[in-house]
């Protein structure tokens, strides 16, 4: 009579562990929702809670290549004086530059903002479009800004991908893309729709405070066990 073959289950342990730690976007985003409460939310998100899609559009334009606190202060100064396209056009370009200084490329942004306000009045009867393709027709508006206006301003489906969303989703190994444009469409294919509106807020906050571009704070990261650390050469 043959003896029953014994199975050594120890060699299977790494596979069981790997299965447990497979990237689960639902778990990761739930964890970030909890831990992000201790950080200050992005200024454009704050504005969207109380203001109009026009305010979201302008504050987003100001935020490009600009630190959040600088955007916060510039938005407050501008919106104290002007709250719609007509009021902004009444401001001279030098005065507008002064109001939004020191946001990045403030002189260029002052010109672009006035051009956009003119187009909103001329083509859209002062109403900010609620479709990405229409927003992209405005000179100076790219996909990041268009998606942010649609999602935060109108609460319509869209995925806003900035450098934080692109960097972190690739660092996790959730997507494998070369630029934010590719990342947006990869996420549209993969990310559950219920997370489309919130992923930008979560990852911008997380990316500014923990998963920073250089030497991320992996030792204090609440989701580091899920992360493949793609491209991370050094961490804290």
* 14-46 tens-digit pLDDT: 543 444 457 899 999 999 999 999 999 999 999
User: In the structure encoding, which two tokens stand for residue 68, read together?
Assistant: 């959040």
Average pLDDT over residues 136-149: 97
Q: Does the predicted TM-score (pTM) go above 0.85?
A: yes
What 8-state DSSP symbol labels residue 52? -
Average pLDDT over residues 188-202: 96
Return mean pLDDT, the chain. 92
How far is it, in rounded angstroms, from Cα 119 to Cα 77?
A: 23
User: In the structure encoding, which two tokens stand for residue 139, read together?
Assistant: 């000179």
Distances (CA, A) of 109 to 76, 94, 182, 229: 16, 12, 26, 36
- Supply the pLDDT for residue 154: 97
- Supply the pLDDT for residue 189: 97
- Supply the pLDDT for residue 10: 52
How far is it, in rounded angstroms, from Cα 225 to Cα 103?
A: 37
Distances (CA, A) of 184 to 45, 110, 143, 188: 19, 28, 9, 6
CATH of 43-154, one of 1.20.1530.20, 3.40.50.1450, 1.10.340.30, 3.40.190.170: 1.10.340.30
> Domain limits of the chain?
9-38+161-226, 43-154
CB distance 207 to 148 below 8 Å: no
CATH of 9-38+161-226, one of 2.130.10.10, 1.10.1670.10, 3.90.700.10, 2.60.120.380: 1.10.1670.10
User: Looking at per-residue confidence, does 109 or 2 come out higher?
Assistant: 109
Question: Residue 7 pLDDT more than 90?
Answer: no
- Supply the pLDDT for residue 14: 52
Average pLDDT over residues 210-226: 95
């Amino acid at each position: 009579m043959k003896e029953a073959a014994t199975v050594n289950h120890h060699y299977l342990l790494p596979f069981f562990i790997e299965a447990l730690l497979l990237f689960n976007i639902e778990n990761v985003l739930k964890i970030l929702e909890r831990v992000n409460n201790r950080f200050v939310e992005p200024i454009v998100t704050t504005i969207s809670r109380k203001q109009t899609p026009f305010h979201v559009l302008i504050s987003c334009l100001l935020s490009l290549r600009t630190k959040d606190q600088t955007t916060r202060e510039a938005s407050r100064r501008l919106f104290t004086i002007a709250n719609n396209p007509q009021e902004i056009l009444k401001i001279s370009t030098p005065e507008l530059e002064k109001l939004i200084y020191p946001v990045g490329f403030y002189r260029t942004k002052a010109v672009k903002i006035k051009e956009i306000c003119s187009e909103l009045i001329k083509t859209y009867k002062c109403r900010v479009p609620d479709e990405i393709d229409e927003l992209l027709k405005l000179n100076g508006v790219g996909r990041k800004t268009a998606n942010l206006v649609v999602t935060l301003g109108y609460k319509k489906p869209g995925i806003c991908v900035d450098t934080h969303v692109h960097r972190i989703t690739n660092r996790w190994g959730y997507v494998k893309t070369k630029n934010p444009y590719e990342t947006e469409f990869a996420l549209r294919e993969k990310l559950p729709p219920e997370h489309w509106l919130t992923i930008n807020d979560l990852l911008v906050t997380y990316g500014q405070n923990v998963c920073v571009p250089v030497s991320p704070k992996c030792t204090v990261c609440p989701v580091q066990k899920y992360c493949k650390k793609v491209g991370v050469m050094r961490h804290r």
